[in-house]
Chain A
Amino acid sequence: MTRYLLPLAAFALLAIVLGVGIKQSKTKGVVVSPLIGREAPDFTLPDLLAPPKKFDSRSMAGRWYALNVWGTWCVECRAEHEVLVAARQAARLPIIGLNWKDDEAEARSWLAQLGNPYEAVPIDAEGRVAIDYGVYGAPETFLIDPRGVIVHKQIGPLTPEIWERDFVRRATSPTGEGS
Chain B
Amino acid sequence: MLPELGHFALILALLLAGVQAFFGLAAPALHRDRWLAAVVPATAGHAVMVATAFGCLVASFVRFDFSVAYVAQNSNSALPLVYRIAAVWGAHEGSLLLWIVLLACWTVAAAFGVARLPPRFAARVLGVLGLVSFGFLLFTLATSNPFLRLVPAAPDGRDLNPLLQDPGLAMHPPLLYAGYVGFAVAFAFAVAAMLEGRLDQAWARWTRPWTLAAWAFLSLGIALGSWWAYYELGWGGYWFWDPVENASFMPWLVGTALIHSLSVTDKRGLFKSWTLLLAIIAFSLSLLGTFLVRSGVLVSVHSFAADPARGIFILAFLVIMIGGALTLYAWRAPLLRSDAGFEFASRESFLLFNNILLVIAAATVFGGTMAPLISDSLGLGTLSVGPQYFNPTFLLPMLPLIALAAIGMHANWKRGRLPQRKRPLIVTGLVALAVSAALVFGYYAGRPGLALMSLALGIWLVLSSLIDPVDRLRRGLTLPRAIVGMTLAHVALGVFVIAVTAVETYTTERDVALARGEVAHVGGYDFRFDGVDAIEGPNYDGVHGIVQVTREGQAVVTLHPEKRRYLVQQSVMTEAAIASQAGRDLFVALGEDLGAGRWSLRIQIRPLINYVWLAAALMALGGLVAASDRRYRSARAPAAEAVGPGQGSPA
Check if A4 sits within 8 Å of B334, measured CB to CB: yes
A139: min CB distance to chain B, Å:
11
Check if B377 sits within 8 Å of A76, measured CB to CB: no
Q: Is A112 an interface residue (CB 8 A)?
A: no
Q: Which residues of B approach A to under 8 Å, CB–CB?
A: 152, 154-156, 158, 273, 277, 280-281, 284, 291, 295-297, 306-308, 311-312, 315, 318-319, 322-323, 326-327, 329-330, 333-334, 370, 373-374, 376-377, 567-570
A/B interface sample: 18 pairs, CB < 8 A: A4-B329, A4-B333, A7-B277, A8-B326, A8-B329, A11-B322, A17-B373, A18-B297, A18-B311, A18-B318, A18-B373, A21-B377, A22-B312, A73-B570, A74-B568, A75-B155, A76-B155, A137-B158
Tell me the residues in window 1-57 of chain A with beta carbons closer than 8 Å to chain B beta carbons: 1, 4-5, 7-8, 11-12, 14-15, 17-22, 24-26, 30
Q: Is A71 an interface residue (CB 8 A)?
A: yes
Check if B329 sits within 8 Å of A21, measured CB to CB: no
Closest to B281 in A: A7
- How far, in whole Å, are A127 and B565 apart by their CA atoms in the complex? 14
Q: Which residues of A approach B to under 8 Å, CB–CB?
A: 1, 4-5, 7-8, 11-12, 14-15, 17-22, 24-26, 30, 71, 73-76, 78-79, 100-101, 127, 137, 159
Check if A8 sits within 8 Å of B296, measured CB to CB: no
Q: Which of B154, B334, B373, B377 has the most CB of A within 10 A?
A: B377
B304: min CB distance to chain A, Å:
12
Contacts of B373 in A (CB 8 A): 17-18, 21
Check if B376 sits within 8 Å of A22, measured CB to CB: no
Contacts of A24 in B (CB 8 A): 376-377
Contacts of A11 in B (CB 8 A): 284, 322-323, 326
Q: Which of A8, A22, A78 contacts B327, CB < 8 Å?
A: A8
B570: min CB distance to chain A, Å:
5
Whether A7 touches B377, Cβ cut-off 8 Å, given contacts A25-B295, A25-B297, A76-B154, is no
Whether A15 touches B319, Cβ cut-off 8 Å, given contacts A79-B155, A137-B569, is yes
User: Which secondary structure dominates where chain A touches chain B?
Assistant: helix
Contacts of B334 in A (CB 8 A): 1, 4
Closest to A73 in B: B567
- How far, in whole Å, are A127 and B570 apart by their CA atoms in the complex? 10
Check if A4 sits within 8 Å of B273, measured CB to CB: yes
Contacts of B158 in A (CB 8 A): 76, 137
- How far, in whole Å, are A139 and B318 apart by their CA atoms in the complex? 38
Closest to A157 in B: B154
Check if B308 sits within 8 Å of A30, measured CB to CB: yes
Check if A22 sits within 8 Å of B311, measured CB to CB: yes
Whether A8 touches B155, Cβ cut-off 8 Å, given contacts A17-B370, A73-B570, is no
Q: Which of A1, A17, A21, A76 has the most CB of B within 10 A?
A: A21
Check if A21 sits within 8 Å of B155, measured CB to CB: no
- How far, in whole Å, are A45 and B295 apart by their CA atoms in the complex? 38
Check if A18 sits within 8 Å of B322, measured CB to CB: no
7 more CB-based (< 8 A) A-B contacts, given A8-B326, A8-B330, A75-B154: A11-B323, A15-B315, A18-B318, A21-B376, A25-B308, A76-B155, A137-B158
Check if A8 sits within 8 Å of B323, measured CB to CB: yes
- How far, in whole Å, are A22 and B311 apart by their CA atoms in the complex? 7
Check if A7 sits within 8 Å of B330, measured CB to CB: yes
B152: min CB distance to chain A, Å:
8
- How far, in whole Å, are A18 and B315 apart by their CA atoms in the complex? 8
Whether A26 touches B154, Cβ cut-off 8 Å, given contacts A1-B334, A4-B333, A8-B323, is no
Contacts of B377 in A (CB 8 A): 17, 20-21, 24
Contacts of B370 in A (CB 8 A): 14, 17
Closest to B370 in A: A17
Contacts of B567 in A (CB 8 A): 73
A72: min CB distance to chain B, Å:
11
Contacts of A17 in B (CB 8 A): 370, 373-374, 377
